[in-house]
Chains A and B, each alone.
Chain A
Amino acid sequence: MLKDITIGQFFPGESLLHRLDPRFKIIITCIFVVMLFIGDSVWGLVIGSVFTFGAIALSKIPNRLFVKSIKPIFPFLIFTAVLNLVFISDGDVLFKWRFIKVTEGGIETSVYMLVRIVLLIAGSSLLTYTTSPIALTDALEQLMSPLKKLKFPVHELSMMMTIALRFIPTLIEETDKIMSAQKARGAEIDSGSLRARVKNLIPILIPLFVSSFRRAEELATAMECRCYNGGDGRTRLRQLKSGGRDFAALAVTCAFMGAIIAVNLML
């Protein structure tokens, strides 16, 4: 079911990761992504894995949720692996059939790529799993606030993101409900030819659009009733505060980054 989509979902908790300042978590996640891509050797990936699994353990979020978050991209993973396997040719040829050549270099690259993508998804899911959407957009707004000087609409953008994030679960629920309602009238949703399938989407998409517009209008009215007029002079109910543990977490991340750079230089 649609309900099983876990990417972008927040799982409330009390772990160290949950309590970190979201601004630091965003920065750490950025460093983490860079870390995975410059770690170009076995050791680089090992360090990256230690970091990811360490963070997952600290988050106290059940492991099967991470498995679930990777499941939907499984076909994509296979596809990438096969592509790398077939098209990269350096090193010894291990296997040959007509025009397909599998080489040592190909295997190496595809394994690296697989590990990297899996770590990337698991690690970055951790950001949204442990941070509430509100905290996340607040943090983004503050991190981007220097851009305000360049007349970049930071507040508007973050408000839009907050609203979008807020409505993802609502829309998923709504879609689920509409799908059930049409199935109850005998609609076939996942069968038939491609043409038939596209046509079968109409009974779901139209009510979904209609209700999204209705919701948008209601929300706009509700915001106006509370005199919302943009970000100028707005104060926050919850101030983001950073403390010792945030800097410690950042330091640990930098240490891992340093280790990967060191490994790269040595090899």
Chain B
Amino acid sequence: MSILKTENLTYTYSQGTPFEKTAVKNVNLEIEEGELVGVMGHTGSGKSTLIQHFNGLLKPTSGRILLEGKDIWENKTEIRNVRFKVGLVFQYPEYQLFEETVFKDIAFGPKNMGLDKDEIERRVRETAENLGLPQECLERSPFELSGGQKRRVAIAGVMAMEPKILILDEPTAGLDPHGRDVILGQIKQYHKKTGNTVLIVSHSMEDIAKYADKILVMNKSELFCYDTTVNVFSRSKEIEAMGLDVPQITRVFNALEQRGLNFGKQVYTVEYAKELIMKKLRERGKVTRC
């Protein structure tokens, strides 16, 4: 059974006013437990709107969302528990920090869950460590930290709730390349360690190609496709036509193919590209060792 499933999910903002806007149109998808899913799409394609349905922040205009097979809106009083099972980190989450100390801020979610003191302490310290926040930083005010650290505190605040599904909306937006790699690496680490389902919204193809098992592409409020990374990038022409970037290395390989050098494989990471090229060269006897 899939952990999360949507049935004909549709959402319209400001229904019944001149500003009416359907941001998600008839989306059907099934996400399996333990997957790391990349969510891609143009700005305004409905990614943020879609993911806010998964933890019940938005209620579908029509359609259903099933969490572990149960309609999350079946019992309205249970919606808070859905939010503990499906953790959502908003875009620019550092703007939601409010406590006096980093420790208290990370503890906000777990405390709302009604956990006891020792458990909260364990979770806060563990999550902070996983995200590379030093212990002494826990007693400082979150407002004194650097941008990248604030971001990690905010992510920790949701991770510490240990949700079955962790969703991050553009977790790397506005960070420098190094900060981006660090955070994505930590998220990947979290995924590996806990085996929980993780969804990362991003429009950096490079990042998604590197980390995700499966990719969900939104286009103009509709689900364009949801498939394994290889299959999605085999449609790189269509994706480029949508105005989205495919990884640079995929473009290189597409261009090579046009010039008659066909590898017969879909390439989207540099490591894999290197492997293929070395193999080809070896076949031709140009290189004997790497």
Contact A186 B90 (CB under 8 A): no
Interface-facing stretch out of A19-27, A150-158, A206-214:
A206-214
Which A residues are in CB contact (< 8 Å) with B55?
184
B157, CB-defined interface residue at 8 Å: yes
Contact B112 A186 (CB under 8 A): yes
Contact A211 B95 (CB under 8 A): yes
CB-nearest residue of chain B to A209: B98
Contact B95 A178 (CB under 8 A): yes
CB-nearest residue of chain B to A3: B14
Which A residues are in CB contact (< 8 Å) with B89?
184
Identify which of A3, A62, A184, A211 contacts B88 (C-beta below 8 A).
A184
Which A residues are in CB contact (< 8 Å) with B80?
186, 188
Which A residues are in CB contact (< 8 Å) with B90?
177, 180-181, 184
Which B residues are in CB contact (< 8 Å) with A180?
52, 57, 90
Q: How far is the CA of A210 from the CA of B92 in the complex (A)?
A: 14
Contact B17 A183 (CB under 8 A): no
Q: How far is the CA of A178 from the CA of B96 in the complex (A)?
A: 6
A250, CB-defined interface residue at 8 Å: no
CB-nearest residue of chain A to B94: A207
Identify which of B14, B17, B143, B158 contacts A184 (C-beta below 8 A).
B158
Shortest distance between the CB of A196 and any CB in chain B (Å)? 12
Give residues 36-93 of B contacting A (CB, 8 Å): 52, 55, 57, 80, 83-84, 87-90, 93
Contact B95 A186 (CB under 8 A): no
Shortest distance between the CB of B289 and any CB in chain A (Å)? 53
Contact A185 B158 (CB under 8 A): yes
Which B residues are in CB contact (< 8 Å) with A64?
16
Q: How far is the CA of A207 from the CA of B150 in the complex (A)?
A: 13
Q: How far is the CA of A176 from the CA of B52 in the complex (A)?
A: 13
Give residues 167-218 of A contacting B (CB, 8 Å): 177-178, 180-188, 202-203, 206-207, 210-211
Contacts A178-B96, A184-B83, A184-B88 known; A65 to B158 CB distance under 8 Å?
no
Contact B98 A202 (CB under 8 A): yes
A74, CB-defined interface residue at 8 Å: no
B165, CB-defined interface residue at 8 Å: no
A11, CB-defined interface residue at 8 Å: yes
Q: How far is the CA of A203 from the CA of B87 in the complex (A)?
A: 18
B113, CB-defined interface residue at 8 Å: yes
Q: Which of A186, A202, A206 has the most CB of B within 10 A?
A: A186
Q: How far is the CA of A181 from the CA of B83 in the complex (A)?
A: 11
Q: B92-122 toward A: CB 8 Å interface, digit per residue (1/0)?
A: 0101111000000000110011000000000
Contact A186 B17 (CB under 8 A): no
Identify which of A3, A11, A181, A187 contacts B112 (C-beta below 8 A).
A187
Which B residues are in CB contact (< 8 Å) with A184?
55, 57, 83, 87-90, 158
B201, CB-defined interface residue at 8 Å: no
Q: B149-163 toward A: CB 8 Å interface, digit per residue (1/0)?
A: 000000001100100
Q: A1-43 toward B: CB 8 Å interface, digit per residue (1/0)?
A: 0010010000110000000000000000000000000000000
Shortest distance between the CB of A169 and any CB in chain B (Å)? 11
Q: A128-159 toward B: CB 8 Å interface, digit per residue (1/0)?
A: 00000000000000000000000000000000
Which B residues are in CB contact (< 8 Å) with A183?
57, 83
Q: How far is the CA of A3 from the CA of B15 in the complex (A)?
A: 11
Contact A206 B109 (CB under 8 A): no
Q: How far is the CA of A3 from the CA of B90 in the complex (A)?
A: 19
Q: Which of B13, B83, B113 has the most CB of A within 10 A?
A: B83
Shortest distance between the CB of A10 and any CB in chain B (Å)? 11
Q: How far is the CA of A169 from the CA of B276 in the complex (A)?
A: 53
Q: Which of B14, B18, B52, B96 has the most CB of A within 10 A?
A: B96
Q: Report 24 cross-chain contacts, Cβ distance below 8 Å, ordered by A residue.
A: A3-B13, A6-B17, A62-B18, A177-B90, A181-B95, A181-B96, A183-B57, A183-B83, A184-B55, A184-B57, A184-B83, A184-B89, A184-B158, A185-B83, A185-B109, A185-B157, A186-B80, A186-B83, A186-B109, A186-B161, A187-B108, A202-B98, A203-B98, A207-B96
Q: Which residues of A pack against B, CB within 8 Å?
A: 3, 6, 11-12, 62, 64-65, 177-178, 180-188, 202-203, 206-207, 210-211
Q: Which 6 residue pairs across A and B have the least CB separation, nearest first? A: A186-B112, A206-B98, A185-B109, A181-B96, A184-B88, A181-B90
Q: Which residues of B pack against A, CB within 8 Å?
A: 13-14, 16-18, 52, 55, 57, 80, 83-84, 87-90, 93, 95-98, 108-109, 112-113, 143, 157-158, 161
